[in-house]
Amino acid sequence: MIVLWIVLGIVLLVGIALAFSYNRFVSQRQLIRNAFANIDTELRRRYDLIPNLVETVKGYAAHEREVFEEVARTRSAAAATSGQSPAAQAQAEGPFVAALGRLFAVAENYPELKANQNFLALQAELSNTEDRIQASRRFYNANVQDYNRRVQSFPSAFVARWFGFKEEEFFEIPEAERAVVGVAPRVDFSRESGAAGTGPASPGGTPSPPGGAGGGAPPPPPPGEPSPDQGT
């Protein structure tokens, strides 16, 4: 009789553990879906900002047609992946954010555009949206990592296999293709100095003083030697 109670107790504990593990899988999977829905919301918000941004830039750089067409094409392709897998959306986001970065590179060539209040407001809103996308992406990927670790680990791997819980996809955009919004361009003063005709630039960016090879006062004579201006 005691053995029977021990067996029943073990079965009960195993059942409780299985139920707990199953419920945790369900909660984690729902959390991942909610996190990805937040990413999708922020992506849509960015898609909605782009047409107004492009029209504003067009007012100052209408001849940059190729850049505008690329932004429009990649935006449509990225928006069309909404509702698909995270990997599919991330793959479509790469070319779009790269095109968006080139759009801002064009804007840097037009000081009047960068002073336009509408452009500044759109840029600030887009920068804020970009921050939200990155925060949502990090939160989503952290939850996917925890969930996938449980899918692979013992003993929760058995529960995952029995009830069909599979690994989830990460949402990753290559670092080189992420949009750079609201960042001022770096100026290479050494190149500007050389172009301005003030002499070749030193490694630290300071122009070389005049009178090097080809001009200026000669260096002083070594001690004990007569100056070139003195008679012999």
Query: pLDDT tens track of the chain, all 232 residues?
Result: 888 888 888 889 988 989 999 999 999 999 999 999 999 999 999 999 999 999 999 999 989 999 999 999 999 999 999 889 999 999 999 999 999 999 999 999 999 998 999 999 999 999 999 999 999 999 999 999 999 999 999 889 999 999 999 999 999 876 655 544 444 333 332 333 343 444 434 334 444 444 444 444 444 544 444 444 444 3
Domain spans, the chain: 30-182
- From the centroid of its chain, how far is CA 64? 24
Question: Who's near 86: CB < 8 A, 6+ residues apart?
Answer: 36, 39, 140, 168, 169, 170, 171
CA-nearest of 85, 109, 227, 228 to 170 is 85
Architecture of domain 30-182: Up-down Bundle (1.20)
